[in-house]
Structures are given as C-alpha cells and as structure tokens.
Structure 1
Amino acid sequence: MHEMRRFEPPAELAAHANVTADVYAEADADRLAFWEKAAERLSWDTKWDRVLDWDNAPFAQWFVGGKINAAYNCVDRHVEAGNGDKVAYHWVGEPENDTRDITYAELKDLVCQAANALTGLGVKAGDRVAIYMPMIPETVVAMLACARIGAPHTVVFGGFSSTALRDRIQDCDARVVITSDGGYRRGAPAALKPAVDEAVAQCPDVRSVLVVQRTGQDVEWDDSRDVWWDDAVGTASTEHTPEAFDSEHPLYVMYTSGTTGKPKGILHTTGGYLVGTSYTHWSVFDLKPETDIFWTAADIGWVTGHSYIVYGPLANGTTSVMYEGTPDTPHKGRWWEIIQQHKVTILYCAPTAIRTFMKWGSDIPDEFDLSTLRLLGSVGEPINPEAYIWYRETIGGGRCPVMDTWWQTETGQLMISPLPGITAGKPGSAMKALPGIGALVVDDEGNAVQPGSGGYLVLTEPWPAMLRTLWGDDERYQDTYWSRFQGLYFAGDGAKLDEDGDIWLLGRVDDVMNVSGHRLSTTEIESALVSHPKVAEAAVVGANDPDTGQAVNAFVILRESALKDGEKADDALIQELRNHVSKEIGPIAKPKSILVVPELPKTRSGKIMRRLLRDVAEKRDVGDVTTLADSTIMDQIKQGLATGKDDD
C-alpha cells in the first residue's frame, strides 16, 4: 500500500499559487463573505441583495436579486477586455490533421449566430433545448447560445441510445433538439441522427431538429422539422445583445442515474453555478489564464465536461484543449501526442483512463515530451494509490502534484480536493473539503466519526453550484438527498477518515455503480434485461474491476419459453442479452458478464441479496446466507450454468 506516502507541494508552486494557506481560515471566519468575493470575479448586470437565502431549506437561492448572463461571462467580456485573439479551444478531431483553433472573438460570433438561429426557430427564455452531439466545437456553441437566450439546455451523452434520449426529451419537455449527422469513433464515422429520428418519433412536441454536418453520412430528412446548422446558424447575424437573467434562472438540466431506474433531472441555475465552477477551476488547478493550456479529457455529455470544459474554463478566459476521439485512435500515444503538440500544462482525466495507460505500459508516454505539464487532476471515482503513483511519476515526471477531486453531477463544482501549493498529496485520498465547503464523515446516526473510522460522506452547508432540485420533482429531491440525515446532504458515497483527519472516498453505498467514472443505476440495467422477451428476472451488481473501477455483472433467470427442452443457454444468447442492454441504455451499460441462474438469492421477504451476488462476481467466499429463503441457491449459482464475458 502507498497510503503512508505524502507528496509535499513543490516550493516553486507554493511561491506563486493563486491561493494561500490562509484561505481556509478566511472561509471559516465568514463563509458567505468568502463566496461573495468569489462572485465578484464575474461580471454581473445587477448586483445581488443577499448572498444566500436558505430560509426554505433544502431549496437554496444564491446571490439573490443578482442578474447575470452566463454566455456574456464566458465570451463577450474577454473580447471586450482585448483578448479576442486569444485561443479559447484547440480542437482536435479524431481523424489526424482534423483540427481547429477557435479564438474568443470567433467563439463570440458563433454563439451570437446560434442564439439568433435558435430565436428564429421560436426558442424563448425558459424553453428547454436537448443537445445530442459529438465532441465538436458546435456542442459548446449550442450550449452557450442556449445560455445566452435563457433557454435551459439538457445535453445527452452521444453514447446513449435513442430510448435514453427520448426519455430525457420527454421528461424536460424539450421542443428543439440539436444534433449532428454523427461523429468519429475509433477511426470510423458513428451516426447520431438516426437515434434522434427514432427518439423524436415518440416526442410529438419537438418542432425542430438542428443538424450539424460533421461526417458527411447520409441521413434521413424531414423538411418540416429538420434544419441544417449551416443554413440556420451560418447565415445568421453575428450581432446579438445578451439579456441578463436572474441568478436563479435555470441554466441546464443534466440527467443522472437514480436507484429507482428513472433518471434524475439535476437542475443547475445560473449565478451560483458559474461562481462555483469558475472559482474552483481557478483555485484547484492554480489556473494562470495567460500561460496555461488546460485539458479536461472528458465528454461534454457529462458534468465534468459542462463544468471544466465549458463554463469554468471559459468564464476564466482559459485556453483549453478539446478532443473528439478515443485514447487509442489512431495509436495508443494519441493523448501524449496532443499534450506535446499543444504544450498542455494541466491535464484532468479519470482513473479509468490512467489504469488503461498503465496496462499499455510507460514506454508509450515515454516517447513524447510531456515536460510542459505542471499539474494533474483526477475525476469521476476514487483513484487507487497504484494509479495515482504511476500518473504522478510517469505522466507528471515526478514533479506534478495530483489533484484528486471529489464532486458529483449534483454538486456542480469541485468539493473535496487538495489545493496546489498548500496541501500535501496522499495517493488515494481526496484530502479535505475545499474552502467554503462543509463536509463530514458520519455514522448511521449522523454523528461525525473519529479519525481512523469510516462512514458516510455528507455535506453540512449549502454551496453556490449545488443542484436546486430535481426537474419537476421537489419531493424526490428532498427524499433522495436530504432525508437520510436531518439537515445534511447525503452524497450516497461511503468514506473514511484517516488518522490525520483526511478523507478517503470508498464509492457508492446504494445501487448506483461507477463504471469508468459514469454513474449507472443497477435498477435501470435490470429493467433493460427484463424487457427482453427471454428474461423473467434479473439482478445486477457492480463488481470491482481493475480497468473500469466497477464492472456491470448480471444474473438472469430465463423464461421457460426461452429454451427448448434440454437446451442450455449459450454464448449467442448471452451476447444477445448484452447487446440488448447496449441498445436500451448505451454501450457503457453493457454487462461485462451475464450468468444464467435457476433462481436469485432472496430473503424471506423477497428482497434480492445483492451482497451475495457481489461476492460471486468478485470471486470471494460467499458471506452469511442464513437470511435466505433457500440457502442452497448460492451453491447452484456458484456452479455457474452459463457465463458470457466480453472485453470490448
């Protein structure tokens, strides 16, 4: 174990860091004054009357009475300050030599054109717009254009199926969808428009689909509904006056897996979210906008992309790298080649990627010049100590501190992390709550645990970028996050405090899995399996996996009609079930293994004992079976009637 290793902040970094050690005391002395100062880094049309209204907890209002426009803060103000020629994005397409550099002035013109085009399509402030796109600059333009006119966007990850897209469009009642013919994935064009066509066929209220031409694939076309991006946006005026919206005006809805199977629409509003993301981006990554080249290697379809590819970096006037493709296309050194080419100084990525690179070997990154890197970040799941050390030594050359960050879709902003130049790094620990954030590890009764003990991670104070509610469901918001511990936000994660009082995250404690940093609901995957005509019942567990953190492991009972007499479940059927899940939810949810079983381990009250299934999936001795209605079931399961595995 590397638990006892500590990496002290580099002296050079400490001497020039954006924040100093007294920032914690400053925030502790007056938390609201601390966040007010952070808010003053932005341009407000109307200043707030009150920093926080928490009278109607857990429904927060931040910077009450303030008016602001997110797009103006992300583009116009930098151009007005004379930084129009500064590159906002070095965009790198997956096909080699397919690159674009977009300056802040160019981005402003594109956002104004897209805002005018959306207005021309009848989009008004408050209307929702769904965005289903690859990692291309137009995705950022679409988001900012929505923000500019006050139309909350809901970005749906381009890897999700048409069913997932349909459910999200329907839940937030989006009337316009922005998409692309497709994107590039592993060297080949991957279509997106067909999934949109399939989804909106069941969404009669969608009146317009705006389509970016990216790959030149043939697409089906409906003249009454479909509009080419170039026709609508390309011909629009580059002049557009942004309107200032109330600080609490909805900025976006992002859907995340829930334990009930129905995705939760996380609502983020404008002012507090922009304050939280821009401040944490600047402080946690010690951002120097004049010289840093920042790369968040995530997809914009996830909250990491929203907060640290789009809103945080642009609000800070940063130059970012944005990459369309996968780490191994066209070769396994692609990321390091991009860092070398664009002289990236800060890299922020997921432990899943780091473990994959470890598996490929250090001789690949060793071929490239990574000397421009000065800071590394980790996001999406707890990073295991081995991966942390490898990342720091091999990619960071032993000189780059690692910011192991904990936060969620719901929190909107970084919450627990070291601070560069101030905090030592411990491999595997996110260390402590950031200034202005209240976090505790508590026991079952909600009492703070002592150092050396484990429990549940809770947040004790409201924070600027926090979710305001679940879209259209205030009751579920309260039940999900605020009912477990009185007056405390329960994150759903387990944690422990070490002897120094530093926090170690232990992953989910509910039925939500963390696969490659993406949250997936076991219930949702079970529902997808049971929707297959051959499946009678299913149970899904997340089992530890060296590459993806957790892997989806499924146990299914087949319908009697599924197999003919004497027939056994074969690999073809297993593959059919795996592909069915992929079609229903998306490839990320495809089970790594499926075991066909005669029965599932259930208590006498009928509850499935997933703990025992996790033991099987992780090849451990099966725990206590005394509460099972039939204790022989586990022996039958362990014998394994049919297993299907896949490594794609």
Structure 2
Amino acid sequence: MEYIYDVKPGEVFWAASDVGWVVGHSYIVYAPLLHGCSTIVYEGKPVRTPDAGGFWRVMEEYKVSAFFTEPTAFRAVKKEDPNGELLKKYDLSHVRAIFQAGERLDPPTYEWLSDLLKKPILDHWWQTETGWGIAANPAGIELETVKSGSATFPVPGYKLEVLDETGNILGPNEEGALAIKLPMPPSCLNTLWNNHERFVEAYLDTYPGYYLCGDDGYIDEDGYVFVMGRIDDVINVAGHRLSTGEMEEVVASHDAIAECAVVGINDELKGQLPVAFYIRKDGVESEPEEIEKELIQMVRGTIGAICCFSKAMEVKRLPKTRSGKILRKTIRQISETDDVPTPATIDDPGILDESREAYKAAKVGRFV
C-alpha cells in the first residue's frame, strides 16, 4: 500500500472494482484496512450514475488520496465527456495519483487522462495469482518517469524475463512471452485447490524454471515493461506474428473512437486476419465507411500492410466482464461458431447477440 500506492495510515484509498474480484477483496477490504486507511465500497458504473462525473464526485466528497480502477472505466467516461466538462465541477487537489490495472492502459487513454487531470497516471500489472504488483511505478519510494504504454519496472521480488517459443531469453524491445523466474515471491499461488497437476501444467510446464504469466510483451532498453496483451491475442497472419494490442493502440488513437477491440479470426488463405470492433464517441457524425477507411490507412501506415487489416465494425457496446474487461476471446469465438459459452462473469449476455449481428452485417468470419 505504501511503496506502490503511496498511501499512509489515516488517508482514503479507493479501488472502484467489483468486490467479488481479487481487487475487490484484497484492495477494497484487506489491504487498506490493515494499513490503517479508510476505504470506499462503490456500487455503480463510471457513467450514468447519474452522469460521467461519478468518479470525480466521490473523489471530492471523500477526499480520496489514491484512486485505482481499470482503463475501460475511463474510456467510458471519455466517450460521454470527451472534454472533461464535468471534472470542472469538482476539487481533486487532494488526489495524488490515479492507478490503472486489469488490462493494458493504452496510450490514447493515458494521454487523455494525463492531459485532463495533470496528475501522475500510473499503470501497473499484476494477476489474481500473484496478489500484488508484478510491474509498477513505485510511487511511495521514488516516482519514475512514465512511459506511455508501460507498467514501468518489475517490482522487487520478481525476476521478470521475456522468452521466445523455445524458452530463450529475448533482448530489449523483442516481444515474447512474459515469464517470472522461479522462485516466486511471498503471496503468490503455489497450487490449485485439489488439482496440483493442473497448476503445474498451466503455469510451470511450458518453460521449466519459470512461471508463465500468460501475457505477451517486451522490456525496452531502459528496463520498462510493456504488456501488450494475452498470449492468445497474438495472431499469425501469413506467417507473421502480430499483436492485436498494438493494432488496438492505433485504432484507439483515432479521434472518433471511444473504445475498441481487435481480434484475430480464421482465414483459409492467411491463417488469421485482424478485425476491429469500435464504439464511437458521443457527438461524432462521421459515416462508418469513412471511419473504417481511415482506420485501415492508420493501421497499415503504422504497422504495415503485412497485418492485412481491412475490416472495422461499429457497435453500440462491447462484451465485458462486470469488472470492465473486454471479452476478446468470446468476440473471437462468435466468428467461428454458434456454440459460444456465455462467460459467467459477463456483464450483459445480450451483448453476444449484438456482436453476432455485427459479424453478419459485415460478412466476416463464418458469415462470409
């Protein structure tokens, strides 16, 4: 609480997560209360409760020192209040930093928040299995220079490395599987309940001597960690391994886009092809065809024609968990089969039909 989040006993810490998730019980209940902080339990969404200023209102009312939520929550705020007009109603002078986790903090969202709040916006990366930060900017020790798109440095206790498919350690700026050299630090899981074989198979067998995080990324020449997405979000287009997270970063930078997801769908010729789903910002009047054309130019201009990016579909909503994570695997599965299991954590199962209709209208995947 002190070294990563820079909160002291007697201060107010707010993690705006669903209490049923690891962030909920660990960082709404246990950690702040054990540390002597006041904590906030918030039942509601970042928008339409009653407006997109809900976060700012609670921060002002309870004099929050540090705030922690996922990037998708702020993307929802950005969609409804892109210029931050509602923020002007509230005094957030007591807020020292905003912490982001749960998914990658894409550069467009980071830059929007940073410009709006004029405060440190600190991405950090960890997992339910670890219980605390794997990579973070240690605000309570010494705040490091922020690099957009990076969770900063490995936290003391973790020996983090990037491995290729055969387990060789990759060099700076080379993307591969993120893995933690054993042994793991205190608090991390060491088995699965009544199924130790499954634990070894899922986390330890792929790279002997390492814990497999399941995320893809790289470490740059300065030691900054960049988590690009889940390993299964890396797609193979005609023999080229490409990150859908990198494509999402480009799509999200378009002025009309509030939120997006890029997934790989099966293709008989190329193996896989990337397709984008996006939600436009409120008040944007551009035609979908115009936006799609501009996105294709942007992605191909930034990443290259090898990515074969040629389809972007507008949707009203994206399938998400109740904690706000986009269900990219489910979006991908809809392109392949009707027999898609409804995730137990989904916020609204009705969104799956909307995704299916988007594929049909665009004649993508099995709907060609």
Fold match by TM threshold 0.5: yes
Letter of the 1:356 counterpart = A
Q: Which has the larger radius of gyration?
A: 1
* CA separation of 1:581 and 1:435: change in aligned 2, threshold 3 A: closer
Note the C-alpha offset of 1:585.
5.9
> Contact 2:335/2:366 (CA < 8 Å) preserved in 1?
no
Counterpart position of 2:107: 385
AA aligned opposite 2:164: D
* Aligned-residue offset at 1:378: 0.2
Q: State which of 332, 342, 345 in structure 2 corresponds to 1:581.
A: 342
Q: CA deviation at 1:481?
A: 0.1
Q: Deviations over 1:584-611 (max 9, x none)?
A: 6643564251169xxxxxxxxxxxxxxx
Distance 1:451 1:376 in 2: 28
Residue of structure 2 in register with 1:311 after alignment: 30
Q: List per-residue Cα deviations over 1:305-334 (Å, max 9, x = no partner).
A: 122111111110111121112222122212
**TM-score for the superposition, normalised by structure 1:** 0.39
Aligned residues of 2:12 and 2:37 also touching (Cα < 8 A): yes
Paired residue total: 276
1:346-366 C-alpha deviation (Å, 9 max, x unpaired): 110100011111112211222
Instruction: Give the whole-Å Cα distance in 1 for the aligned partners of 2:129 and 2:275.
Output: 21
- Counterpart position of 2:226: 504
State the match for 1:360 in structure 2.
Answer: 80
Q: Deviations over 1:61-88 (max 9, x none)?
A: xxxxxxxxxxxxxxxxxxxxxxxxxxxx
**Displacement, 1:501?**
2.6
Sequence identity (%): 32
Counterpart-to-counterpart distance in 2, 1:459 and 1:588: 35
Deviation at 1:637, TM superposition (A): 4.6
The residue identity in structure 1 corresponding to 2:347 is P
CA contact 1:403–1:419 (8 Å) conserved in 2: no
| Equivalent pair of 1:376/1:392 in contact (CA under 8 Å) | no
Give unmatched runs, 5+ long, in structure 1.
1-280, 515-521, 523-540, 559-576, 597-615, 620-635, 642-648
Per-residue displacement from partner, 1:498-532 (whole Å, max 9, x unpaired)?
23231100111137999xxxxxxx9xxxxxxxxxx
Instruction: Work out the CA distance in 2 between the residues paired with 1:474 and 1:640.
Output: 41
Task: Work out the CA distance in 1 between the residues paired with 2:18 and 2:74.
Answer: 16
Instruction: Map 1:88-487 onto structure 2 (within 5 A).
Output: 281-290=1-10, 292-327=11-46, 328-361=48-81, 362-394=84-116, 397-398=117-118, 400-420=119-139, 421-460=142-181, 461-487=183-209
Indicate if the aligned counterparts of 1:284 and 1:403 stay in contact, CA closer than 8 A: no
- Cα separation, partners in 2 of 1:637 and 1:324, compared to 1, 3 Å: closer
Unaligned runs of 5+ residues in structure 2 are 235-243, 246-262, 264-273, 280-317, 319-324
Shift of 1:639: 8.8
Confirm or deny: 8 A CA contact 1:293 1:320 kept in the other structure: yes
- CA contact under 8 A between 2:337 and 2:366: conserved in structure 1? no
Runs of 4+ with deviation above 4 angstroms: 511-514, 541-551, 636-639
Counterpart code for 1:404 = D
Shift of 1:297: 0.6
Which residue of the partner structure matches residue 594 of structure 1? 356
Shift of the 390–488 alpha-carbon distance from structure 1 to 2, 3 Å rule, reads: same
TM-score w.r.t. structure 2 length? Answer: 0.67
Question: Which residue identity lines up with residue 335 of structure 2 in the other structure?
Answer: F
Contact 1:417 1:432 in 2 (8 A): yes
Matched position secondary structure for 1:470: coil
* Partner Cα distance (2:34, 2:222) in 1: 35
Contact 2:71 2:103 in 1 (8 A): yes
Contact 1:497 1:504 (8 Å CA) reproduced: yes
Indicate if the aligned counterparts of 1:407 and 1:413 stay in contact, CA closer than 8 A. yes
Does the 8 Å CA contact 1:494/1:509 hold for their aligned counterparts? yes
Q: Say if 2:71 and 2:109, in contact at 8 Å, map to a contact too.
A: yes
For the 8 Å contact 1:384–1:428, the answer to whether it is kept is yes
Does 1 or 2 have the higher relative contact order (CA < 8 Å, sep 6+)?
1
CA contact (8 A) 1:383 1:428 kept: yes
